[in-house]
Amino acid sequence: MALEEKSLPDDLVRAVARHTLAYVLCSISELFRHYDFDPLDLLIVHAILNANVLNVMKDDALDKRFASVHATEPDAVKQGVSRATLSRFLNLPIETIRRRANQLKKRGILAERDDGLLVSETNQFKFGNNHHLQRMNIIFVRKLLRDLARTGIHGPDDL
């Protein structure tokens, strides 16, 4: 049964929403604490990072190959993302994306290929390969999973 077809009690829906929002906000807060960047630029960089490795996450062999903290995805494996796609995904004006992406390119954070933008593996800020943020994420995920378990959610079949 598809998620949207399964009827869930309103109190469970509210509890899951509350706990997942807390996870997202903790993650964002840690990004803001760690990087001295404009928040919108951080959002754009991380949306691009995510888009760059969607193909890796969907391929079990690639996902396993680049699972180690010592195995950052090389630019050659990443897929680019267009400014228009970013604009739609983030619901931001295309001009905002264009202007900010151009500035991020000048700073050496983004690179551009025929298939679109990518966060360069050589960026000096370690976007996409920040071990501190990866460790903090584990703490936040554990908390989320504990909180969801307390509400009776132990896996996807409980939703």
Query: 93-119: b or e for each residue (b if 16 or more CB lie within 10 Å)?
Result: eeeebeebbeebeeeebbbeeeebbbb
Q: Widest CA span of the chain, in angstroms?
A: 50
CATH of domain 37-124: 1.10.10.10
Mean pLDDT of the chain: 93
Residues of the chain with CATH 1.10.10.10: 37-124
pLDDT band at 1 (very low <50, low <70, confident <90, very high): very low
pLDDT recorded at residue 130: 87
> Whole-model pTM?
0.86
**85 or 8, which is more confident:** 85
Query: How confident is the model over 57-114, as pLDDT tens digits?
Result: 999 999 999 988 777 899 999 999 999 999 999 999 999 999 999 999 999 999 999 9
Residue 9 pLDDT greater than 90, yes or no = no
Do the Cβ atoms of 11 and 140 come closer than 8 Å?
Answer: no
